[in-house]
């Protein structure tokens, strides 16, 4: 990248790193900020169980749509401008939710803020690839760790803020934190707008994945892309099913109280913190991530198998093992950067993987919940989760070959 008269290359890298960390702190805020306030919101906006269910589906739906849209927008206006747009969209969504006078506006505001967060999710591997190309593992670890911490903050503070002031202030206050991420991305967007044409000319690999109606079909030719997509999807299903259904499952199969089930869900969430730091660094150092995939599969199999066959007295162990099985999520984020040659390609791969992963994860809790209603037992649902975990083995040979996405796409095109 040639020198810039206003911001040097080193200055741009530092701004980019700061921007990545700041935006990472905002990406999970919309997910956990609303549900703890359901009782307070219901006083002004009636929320039935079905209404809450629709709101609960917004995160994976918003993230899946972002996977389709964000890479195309980034191609049109540049990575930096698109991430700036993501921050602005999140601010507008937080404010819209806080000012909502009715249910439809609450849903619309939730969709807007989650769409912005989804843009950030999709483009973070691309941003790491561009601004920290020589520290992909540590940088991915840093932002994944911050995202994990960010997911725990709203559930902790949302109710106290609502009780101290009101639920509208609690929902809207997160817009203030998101605003802090504006500064670096405004500066970088101005710089990127001046130099986007030269960046494209200097990045010949980007042309392989030019956006067109066949973009997904093009990426689907890559074994590596599917090797990332499969464990990402399994991890996403596990995460959304756990947050939506685990407390009920534990009360039914293990006989724990509602309070104990909530504490066990918190244990599941906390387990992800060290994984968010360790997995990217380990992925970057290993020749292939086969060991991580095998470990994840074994952890899921034992964890879900334990809940199915012997839920008591080791219920805490089973929950911890399921939480540790989520190690493939930060692994996949790292591979999106490691197994591509350009930031543009990383964005396209991230979009492909997250669209499929979150689209499937969106319907998984509903499907498994309906299966329970139909059968009167959680055994079929837990069996399905065990089978899905076993499918991780399919991804192992795909990623063991150490393929690069652009090379695979080019070879298949020939």
Answer for the pair 65, 213: CB distance below 8 angstroms, yes or no.
no
Q: Is residue 154 part of a domain?
A: yes
Q: How many domains does the chain have?
A: 2
Q: Is residue 108 part of a domain?
A: yes
Q: Per-residue pLDDT tens for 264-313?
A: 888 888 887 888 888 999 998 998 999 999 999 999 999 999 999 988 88
Spans in the chain with pLDDT lower than 50: 1-5, 206-214
Q: Is residue 2 part of a domain?
A: no
Q: Is residue 210 part of a domain?
A: no
Structure tokens of 332? 């996949």
Answer for the pair 271, 326: CB distance below 8 angstroms, yes or no.
yes
Is residue 147 domain-shared with residue 295, that is, in the same domain? no
Answer for the pair 297, 239: CB distance below 8 angstroms, yes or no.
no
For residue 354, which of 62, 128, 107, 84 has the smallest C-alpha distance? 62
Is residue 136 domain-shared with residue 94, that is, in the same domain? yes
**What pLDDT, on the 0 to 100 scale, is given for residue 201?**
60
- Interacting residues of 37 by C-beta distance below 8 A, sequence separation 6+: 158, 159, 162, 167, 170, 171
Answer for the pair 405, 340: CB distance below 8 angstroms, yes or no.
yes
Q: Is residue 15 part of a domain?
A: yes
Omega of the bond leading into 57 within 30 degrees of 0 (cis): no
**What pLDDT, on the 0 to 100 scale, is given for residue 200?**
59
**What pLDDT, on the 0 to 100 scale, is given for residue 323?**
92
**What pLDDT, on the 0 to 100 scale, is given for residue 29?**
85
Q: Counting Cβ atoms within 10 Å, is residue 97 exposed (0-12), middle (13-18) or buried (19+)? A: buried
Answer for the pair 106, 55: CB distance below 8 angstroms, yes or no.
yes
**What pLDDT, on the 0 to 100 scale, is given for residue 18?**
93
For residue 344, which of 188, 63, 129, 67 has the smallest C-alpha distance? 129
CA distance 238 to 382: 11
CA distance 314 to 326: 19
Is residue 177 domain-shared with residue 307, that is, in the same domain? no
Is residue 387 domain-shared with residue 298, that is, in the same domain? yes
Is residue 42 domain-shared with residue 190, that is, in the same domain? yes
Q: Is residue 321 part of a domain?
A: yes
**What pLDDT, on the 0 to 100 scale, is given for residue 76?**
85
CA distance 328 to 144: 12
Coil, helix or strand for 6?
coil
Last residue of a domain, one of 149, 173, 202: 202
Q: Is residue 207 part of a domain?
A: no
Q: Counting Cβ atoms within 10 Å, is residue 235 exposed (0-12), middle (13-18) or buried (19+)? A: buried
Coil, helix or strand for 59?
helix
Q: Is residue 209 part of a domain?
A: no
Is residue 122 domain-shared with residue 243, that is, in the same domain? no
Is residue 182 domain-shared with residue 275, that is, in the same domain? no
**What pLDDT, on the 0 to 100 scale, is given for residue 199?**
57
Last residue of a domain, one of 202, 230, 261: 202
Is residue 194 domain-shared with residue 251, that is, in the same domain? no
Is residue 250 domain-shared with residue 354, that is, in the same domain? yes
Last residue of a domain, one of 202, 236, 267: 202
- Residue position matching structure tokens 């150490």: 402
**What pLDDT, on the 0 to 100 scale, is given for residue 352?**
93
Domain that holds residue 144: 9-202
**What pLDDT, on the 0 to 100 scale, is given for residue 275?**
85
Torsion sign, CA atoms 388, 399, 235, 292: positive
Its pTM stands at: 0.84
Is residue 133 domain-shared with residue 76, that is, in the same domain? yes
Q: Per-residue pLDDT tens for 197-230?
A: 565 565 555 444 444 434 777 888 899 999 999 9
CA distance 261 to 385: 19
For residue 23, which of 142, 192, 196, 195 has the smallest C-alpha distance? 142
Is residue 197 domain-shared with residue 258, that is, in the same domain? no
**What pLDDT, on the 0 to 100 scale, is given for residue 3?**
46
**What pLDDT, on the 0 to 100 scale, is given for residue 197?**
59
Q: Please give the radius of gyration of the chain, using alpha carbons only, rounded to the nearest integer.
A: 21
Residue 275 per-residue DSSP state? H
Q: CA 357: distance to chain centroid?
A: 9
Is residue 263 domain-shared with residue 372, that is, in the same domain? yes
Q: CA 12: distance to chain centroid?
A: 25
The C-alpha angle with vertex 190 and arms to 187 and 194, in degrees rounded to 5, equals 140
Which CATH number fits the domain that encloses residue 71?
1.20.1250.20
Measure the N-to-C terminal CA separation of the chain; round to a whole number of Å. 30
């Amino acid at each position: 990248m040639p020198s810039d008269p206003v911001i040097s290359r080193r200055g741009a890298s530092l701004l980019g790193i700061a921007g990545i960390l700041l935006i990472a702190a905002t990406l999970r805020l919309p997910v956990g900020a609303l549900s703890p306030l359901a009782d307070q919101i219901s006083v002004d906006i009636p929320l039935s169980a079905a209404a809450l269910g629709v709101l609960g589906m917004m995160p994976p739906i918003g993230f899946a749509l972002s996977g389709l849209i964000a890479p195309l927008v980034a191609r049109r206006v540049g990575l930096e401008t698109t991430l700036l747009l993501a921050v602005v969209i999140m601010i507008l969504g937080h404010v819209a939710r806080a000012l909502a006078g009715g249910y439809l506006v609450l849903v619309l505001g939730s969709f807007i803020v989650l769409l912005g967060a989804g843009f950030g999710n999709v483009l973070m591997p691309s941003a790491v690839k561009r601004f920290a190309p020589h520290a992909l593992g540590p940088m991915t670890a840093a932002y994944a760790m911050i995202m994990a911490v960010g997911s725990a903050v709203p559930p902790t503070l949302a109710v106290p803020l609502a009780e101290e002031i009101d639920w509208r202030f609690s929902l809207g206050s997160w817009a203030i934190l998101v605003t802090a991420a504006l500064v670096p991305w405004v500066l970088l967007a101005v710089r990127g707008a001046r130099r986007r044409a030269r960046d494209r000319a200097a990045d010949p690999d980007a042309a392989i994945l030019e956006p067109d109606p066949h973009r997904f079909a093009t990426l689907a030719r890559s074994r590596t892309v599917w090797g990332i997509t499969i464990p990402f999807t399994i991890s996403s299903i596990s995460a959304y099913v756990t947050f939506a259904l685990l407390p009920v499952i534990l009360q039914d199969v293990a006989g724990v109280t509602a309070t104990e089930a909530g504490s066990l869900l918190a244990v599941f969430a906390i387990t992800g913190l060290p994984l968010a730091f360790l997995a990217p660094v380990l992925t970057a150092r290993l020749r292939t991530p086969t060991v991580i995939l095998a470990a994840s599969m074994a952890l899921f199999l034992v964890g879900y198998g334990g809940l199915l066959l012997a839920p008591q007295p080791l219920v805490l162990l089973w929950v911890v093992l399921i939480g540790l099985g989520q190690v493939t999520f930060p692994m996949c984020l790292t591979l999106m950067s490691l197994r591509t040659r350009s930031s543009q390609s990383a964005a396209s791969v991230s979009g492909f993987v997250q669209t499929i992963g979150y689209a499937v994860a969106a319907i998984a809790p509903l499907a498994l919940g309906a299966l329970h209603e139909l059968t009167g037992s959680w055994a079929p649902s837990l069996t399905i989760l065990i089978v899905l975990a076993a499918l991780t083995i399919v991804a192992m040979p795909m990623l063991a070959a150490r393929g690069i996405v652009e090379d695979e796409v080019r070879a298949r095109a020939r």
